């Protein structure tokens, strides 16, 4: 399994990348802050890629990037900076293979990482009209767990259509649904309550008896904070 490490103190970066790597890509993902790096260097296993978030760094992280670059081999190190970040060149000189500007489109981030990994990972199939950023926003704002978010993104990709339990089980767990297994019913009930508490009636999830589940957004503008 592909292993990713994120060094960050910024909640927006930590939350978005956690969603990308654990829910969408289903990688082995770990997030630590800068103070924990020394301990990680002495106790960690190898990783495929390390992201160093410079958006809230108190000092130039180039020395850390240099150390991580040596440790990560044959993995790669990528840095993240704000639009007006000043340490991008230093990050490249320290060994970073790429410097991303935050906020970054999650699909683009995934593709850029895949191009830079020594061994590319399989691409994730997803309709082109489905935005990873939108679904991540919905899941994070509603406070969905990883399991709930994995279910939500399958339903979200089929907005307004019934998703059978078999299709859901194959997408989430790579196995057919077992008759009598109510796990998805329980998760969907929790998702329904969280959506009702967060979005009122703008997003709904219903259980269709003997068929499956249906998510409706009704043309929701998910980035409307109201």
For the chain, the domains span 3-116, 132-216
174: region left, alpha or beta (phi > 0 left; psi from -120 to 50 alpha): left
Provide the pLDDT for residue 223: 46
The pTM of the full predicted model, rounded to 2 decimals, is 0.84
* Mean pLDDT of the 92-104 span: 96
Choice among 97-101, 109-113, 115-119, 126-130 with the minimum mean pLDDT: 126-130
Helices (H), the chain: 11-18, 37-43, 62-72, 88-94, 106-116, 132-142, 146-157, 165-173, 183-199
Q: How many CB atoms lie within 10 A of CB 140?
A: 16
Higher pLDDT, 82 or 123: 82
The count of C-alpha atoms lying within 13 angstroms of the C-alpha of 69, restricted to the half-sphere facing its C-beta, is 17
Residue 226 has pLDDT above 50, yes or no: no
CATH number for the region 3-116 comes to: 3.40.50.2300
pLDDT exceeds cutoff 80 at 101: yes
Of 52, 72, 55, residue with least CA distance to 3 = 72
Confidence (pLDDT) at 130: 61
Mean pLDDT of 162-179: 92
Q: What pLDDT is attached to residue 129?
A: 52
What integer pLDDT is reported at residue 96 of this predicted model?
97
* Residue 103 C-alpha from the chain's centroid: 13
**Domain covering 132-216, topology:** Arc Repressor Mutant, subunit A (1.10.10)
Q: Which long-range contacts (CB under 8 A, 24 or more apart) does 201-206 make?
A: 203/138, 205/152, 205/155
pLDDT band at 179 (very low <50, low <70, confident <90, very high): confident
pLDDT of amino acid 82: 95
Token duo for residue 221 = 């503008």
Residue-wise pLDDT tens digits, 5-49: 999 999 999 999 999 999 999 999 999 999 999 999 988 778 999
């Amino acid at each position: 399994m592909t292993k990713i490490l994120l060094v960050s103190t910024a909640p927006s970066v930590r939350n978005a990348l956690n969603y990308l790597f654990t829910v969408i890509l289903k990688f082995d993902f770990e997030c630590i802050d800068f103070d924990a790096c020394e301990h990680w260097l002495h106790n960690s296993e190898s990783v495929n890629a390390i992201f160093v978030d410079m958006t809230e760094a108190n000092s130039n992280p180039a020395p850390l990037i240099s150390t991580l670059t040596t440790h990560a081999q044959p993995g790669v190190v990528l840095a993240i900076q704000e639009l007006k970040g000043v340490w991008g060149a230093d990050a490249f000189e320290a060994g970073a293979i790429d410097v991303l500007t935050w906020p970054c489109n999650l699909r683009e981030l995934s593709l850029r990482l895949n191009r830079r990994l020594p061994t590319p990972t399989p691409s994730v199939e997803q309709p082109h009209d489905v935005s990873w950023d939108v679904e991540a926003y919905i899941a994070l704002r509603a406070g969905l767990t990883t399991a709930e978010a994995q279910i939500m993104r399958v339903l979200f990709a089929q907005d307004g259509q019934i998703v059978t339990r078999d299709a859901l089980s194959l997408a989430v767990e790579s196995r057919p649904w077992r008759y009598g297994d109510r796990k998805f019913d329980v998760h969907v009930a929790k998702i329904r309550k969280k959506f009702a508490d967060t979005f009122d009636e703008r997003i709904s999830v219903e259980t269709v008896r003997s068929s499956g589940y249906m998510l409706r957004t009704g043309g929701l503008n998910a980035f409307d904070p109201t």
